[in-house]
A = this chain, B = another copy of it.
Amino acid sequence: MLVPVILSGGSGTRLWPLSRKNQPKQFLPLVGERSLYEETLRRVSSLPGADGSITVCSEDHRFTVGEQLQAIGVKSGGIVLEPVARNTAPAIALAAMHALARDSEATLLVLPADHLIEDEAAFRTAIDTARTLADDGWLVTFGIRPDYPETGYGYILSGDALVDGGHRVARFVEKPDLATAERYVAEGSYAWNSGMFLFKAQRYLDELARFAPAMLDAVRAAYSSASKDLDFIRIDRDAFAASPNDSIDYAVMEKTDRAAVVPVSCGWSDIGSWSALWSVAQRDSDGNRHEGDVISVDTRGSLVRASDRRMIATLGVEDLVIIDTPDATLVARKDRVQDVKTLVDRLAADGRTEHLLHRKVYRPWGSYDSIAVGPRFQVKRIVVKPGAALSLQKHAQRAEHWIVVSGTAEVTCDERVFELHENESTFIPLGSVHRLRNRGSEPVELIEVQSGGYLGEDDIVRLEDVYGRS
């Protein structure tokens, strides 16, 4: 059985303001209509013999992962929640244990969630080669044949060719300087380290036992107490936190004598910056990539993304990146986008939140978007998924007014429980115990107007919650 393991790490800071801590790069539809995570899921689910992808992600992103898994509609092998981040080696160990619980012969295909692959046929051919090698006990890494001397990646030097395809890994090398990278590209036997691997689950754990026994012990202790909650696998926080923090490269691949590399050219990109996105995107004859409502005059070589309901007009500009979101717009020179991180650091230092949260916030029951705020009021657009319910709650300092735009909501307000239909509205007085529920089969969309002197999210007492938040 081939078990895809999707590692949903990474913050995608350089893709701010679209990528934010609560919804990083891998969950965004950067190219096309699906997110990189959704594309990764779709890609691996159709591989021959693939069964039930395991996603390893942060607790914070569990509902987004759940929702995107559902949107793609593929069989899930479980969502393993990392209580704390410990880098890739322990994360893969968790996935290996979870896969072995299903199939003691499981082969893992480990992929980051935030990469793009344009040539899927080439990718599948490389996987076939890697599976043969894995069956022989090799730990395979996929090396991307470099198009240009990138200095932002590590490289892998191929050694002796193996009979079944691929090569022994001669050496892993750190991110090179430009001259070195140019030499690597010219030489032809170096490949980019893509962070994609294929090996037998048990082989990986065996190598961990040899090279990182403390890590293996910690992960085993954490996984042994795992509990299942819907599709989520929760593990012991303290046990997992005790694991050393290390990458698979350092912990295993650079130490094992059975590391193999399968070089591949498959249109791979990690979309590490806005200029990388511009490079992979289709562009018009002026070299522009426009998304959304963009009007441009004498504009060249630019990436412009307008956001919902807003127009971006450009005039006489060149090589810019303009990214609009409901609460922040970035205007940057395209060759400076590596420094978006500097901007994000500035936001953090200023105690702001635009790098953490999007205006639209996803919750287990649906989403809300704070579409307007003023003195004494806030307007939210709320969507409640079919079958979902908000917690039974009350607020000390605000009244709420709900107007149903579509669907039928079930409203609890103190002693009363009643239905609210399209175009109807109701009023939740300050202090009333209330709940919103969708018992229908379509989403309920409503407008909530909050009024009161204090409107913070923390003015909430949760009395009951089906998602365990009370």
Contacts and interface: CB of A to CB of B under 8 A. Distances in A.
A305 to B, nearest CB: 12
Copies of this polypeptide in the complex? 2
Interface string A409-451: 0000000000000111101001000000000000001010101
Given A329-B324, A331-B322, A342-B297, A17 B313 contact: yes
Contact of A315 (B317, B342, B423): B342
Interface string A290-325: 000001011000000000011111111100101010
Given A312-B329, A322-B331, 11 more contacts: A295-B343, A295-B350, A310-B328, A315-B331, A315-B336, A317-B320, A377-B445, A399-B423, A403-B449, A423-B452, A449-B449
A255 to B, nearest CB: 40
Interface string A370-402: 011111110101000000000000000001010
Interface of A: 17, 295, 297-298, 309-317, 320, 322, 324, 326-333, 335-337, 339-340, 342-343, 346-347, 350, 354, 371-377, 379, 381, 399, 401, 403-406, 422-425, 427, 430, 445, 447, 449, 451-452
A333 B296 CA distance: 12
Q: Which 3 A-B pairs have the closest CB atoms?
A: A316-B336, A315-B332, A316-B333
A308 to B, nearest CB: 10
A163 to B, nearest CB: 51
Contacts of A375: 405-406
A430 B350 CA distance: 48
A401 B399 contact: no
A430 B336 CA distance: 54
Contacts of A449: 403, 425, 447, 449
B311 A327 contact: yes
A402 to B, nearest CB: 9
Contacts of A331: 312-315, 317, 320, 322, 331
Nearest to A344: B313
A300 to B, nearest CB: 11
A49 to B, nearest CB: 43
Contact of A298 (B326, B336, B350, B405): B336
Nearest to A328: B311
5 contacts: A313-B328, A316-B332, A331-B331, A423-B430, A425-B427
B311 A339 contact: no
A309 B378 CA distance: 13
Contact of A371 (B340, B354, B379, B451): B379
Given A17-B313, A317-B332, A331-B331, A406 B295 contact: no
A451 B422 contact: yes
Contacts of A377: 403, 405, 445, 447
Contacts of A297: 339, 342-343, 346
A343 B372 contact: no
Contact of A403 (B315, B326, B401): B401
Contacts of A315: 330-333, 336-337, 339-340, 342-343
Contacts of A406: 375-376
